[in-house]
């Protein structure tokens, strides 16, 4: 089998440094070689490619169009090699930094209060928690793993179920003390129903599951995040449908009231979503195992 058709790696590294600094002198200082050696190395690369990468004017150099293209390509390749090297060396004995993407409200209300036990179990793993709620993108390795809500279908990722979502109706105590308290389901028609805009069919699912006629309901504000819906309910802006684990603290504190005993499992669920190439990293395996136990203990 023929070997790879590649120019000198030293020449590539020298060209990338010269392009980044816009100077052979500064590239030479970075690489600990002489300025003339750096210049000769880049010239050898141009001879190999039979393409001029720099225009040279006295002591000034400027990338050609082809040079800019090649410099961007090399910069990306070297960044990937550097990142992969750090990734590899940080996997020793399950150490390193674990980057986890979390849904903002789920993370604040459920995950973060429990992370102390993970740190106690794995003190050599540093956590980097980032807020993210978009769908996982195939080929994006900026996070080691992420928690997402959905149905378990994300191309290029391993999706492992964490927990389902139990929904219940909640409102401010002011509504219960007002002229139209929620003493039965018919009284829902007297109030605005707050809508979580990223789960627009949640109310419909709740009505179907409970066999309640949804006609003549009044739809209130549409809010993008759960923490917005939660605050709107606490503020008395309407009646909300929220996951039980998100409202437990406010119910216990008396900020919210659950007027009906019925609870309904919502469609979809929470998943740990990991890029396929990172599923076997020791730090990811450690987090997966811990998370599964925490979810079982809820």
Check pLDDT > 90 for residue 27.
Answer: yes
Question: If you search the block for the tokens 């890029």, which residue do you land on?
Answer: 275
Q: In this predicted structure, what is the pLDDT of residue 176?
A: 95
The label of the residue with tokens 């225009």 reads 55
pLDDT of residue 221: 93
For position 199, what pLDDT does the model report?
A: 87
Helix ranges (H only) for the chain are: 9-21, 24-31, 35-49, 65-89, 104-106, 115-121, 173-176, 202-210, 226-234, 244-253, 282-296
What is the reported pLDDT for 69? 95
pLDDT > 60? residue 201:
yes
58: phi > 0 → left, psi -120 to 50 → alpha, else beta; which?
A: left
pLDDT, average across residues 194-200: 91
Confidence of residue 216 (pLDDT cuts 50, 70, 90): confident
Q: What are the residue boundaries of the structural domains of the chain, listed by start?
A: 9-89, 94-163+269-296, 165-267
- Laid out side by side, the sheet with 96-102 consists of 125-131, 96-102, 145-150, 264-275, 157-170, 240-243
Q: Do the domains 9-89 and 165-267 sit in the same CATH topology, yes or no?
A: no
What average pLDDT does the segment 171-197 reach? 95
How confident is the model over 247-264, as a mean pLDDT? Answer: 94
- Residue 3's pLDDT band, with cuts at 50, 70 and 90, is low
pLDDT band at 114 (very low <50, low <70, confident <90, very high): very high
Please, is 20 exposed, middle or buried when counting C-beta atoms within 10 Å of its C-beta (0-12, 13-18, 19+)? middle
Residue 111 pLDDT > 90: yes
Return phi, psi of residue 160, to 5°: -120, 125
The yes or no reply on domain 9-89 and CATH 1.10.10.10 is yes
Question: Which pLDDT belongs to residue 2?
Answer: 58
Place of tokens 């809820």: 298
pLDDT of residue 45: 94
> pTM, whole model, 2 decimals?
0.67
pLDDT digits (tens, 9 = 90+) for 123-142: 989 999 998 777 777 767 78
Q: What phi and psi, each to the nearest 5 degrees, are found at residue 85?
A: -65, -45
Separation of alpha carbons 51 and 98, rounded Å: 43
- Cα 33 to Cα 29, 40, 55, 61, 78: the distances in Å are 6, 11, 22, 18, 20
* Averaged pLDDT score across all residues of the chain: 89
Average pLDDT over residues 155-161: 92
What are 56's two structure tokens? 């040279």
Averaged pLDDT for residues 165-192: 95
Q: Specify the pLDDT at position 277.
A: 82
pLDDT mean over 104-121: 92
Cα–Cα nearest to 41, from 29, 28, 59, 60: 28
The pLDDT value recorded for residue 170 is 98
pLDDT of residue 146 exceeding 70, the answer is yes
Q: What is the pLDDT of residue 298?
A: 67
Of the two residues 213 and 235, the one the predictor is more confident about is 235
Whether pLDDT at 254 is above 50:
yes
CA distance 53 to 56: 10
High-pLDDT (> 70) share of the chain, %? 94
Each residue's pLDDT tens digit, 69-94: 999 999 888 887 877 776 666 655 55
Q: Which fold has domain 165-267?
A: D-Maltodextrin-Binding Protein; domain 2 (3.40.190)
The helix (run of H) or strand (run of E) holding residue 56 is: strand 54-57
User: Could you give the maximum distance between any two Cα atoms of the chain, in Å?
Assistant: 87
Q: Mean pLDDT, to the nearest integer, of 17-36?
A: 93
Residue 264 has what pLDDT? 93
Superfamily of segment(s) 94-163+269-296: Periplasmic binding protein-like II (3.40.190.10)
Report the share of the chain in percent with pLDDT over 90.
67
């Amino acid at each position: 089998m023929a070997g790879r058709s590649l120019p000198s790696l030293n020449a590539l590294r020298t060209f990338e440094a010269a392009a980044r600094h816009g100077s052979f002198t500064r590239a030479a200082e970075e690489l600990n070689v002489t300025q003339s050696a750096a210049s000769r190395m880049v010239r050898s690369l141009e001879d190999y490619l039979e393409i001029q990468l720099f225009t040279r004017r006295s002591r000034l150099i400027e990338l050609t169009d082809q040079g800019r293209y090649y410099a961007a390509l090399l910069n990306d390749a070297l960044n990937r090699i550097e990142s992969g090297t750090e990734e590899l060396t940080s996997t020793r004995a399950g150490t390193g930094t674990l980057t986890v993407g979390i849904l903002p409200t789920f993370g604040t209300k459920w995950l973060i209060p429990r992370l102390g036990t993970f740190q106690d179990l794995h003190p050599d793993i540093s956590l980097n928690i980032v807020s993210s709620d978009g769908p996982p993108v195939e080929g994006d390795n900026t996070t080691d793993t992420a928690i997402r809500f959905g149905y378990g279908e994300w191309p290029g990722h391993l999706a492992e179920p964490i927990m389902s979502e139990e929904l219940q109706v909640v409102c401010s105590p002011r509504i219960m003390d007002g002229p139209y308290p929620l003493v039965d389901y018919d009284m829902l028609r007297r109030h605005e129903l707050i809508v979580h805009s990223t789960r627009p069919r949640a109310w419909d699912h709740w009505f179907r599951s409970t066999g309640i006629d949804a006609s003549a309901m009044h739809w209130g504000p549409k809010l993008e995040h759960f923490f917005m819906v939660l605050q709107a309910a606490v503020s008395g802006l309407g009646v909300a449908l929220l996951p039980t684990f998100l409202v437990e603290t406010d119910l216990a504190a008396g900020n919210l009231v659950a007027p009906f005993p019925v609870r309904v499992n919502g469609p979809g669920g929470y998943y740990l979503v990991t890029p396929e190439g990172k599923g076997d990293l020791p730090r990811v395996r450690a987090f997966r195992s811990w998370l599964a136990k925490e979810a079982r203990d809820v």
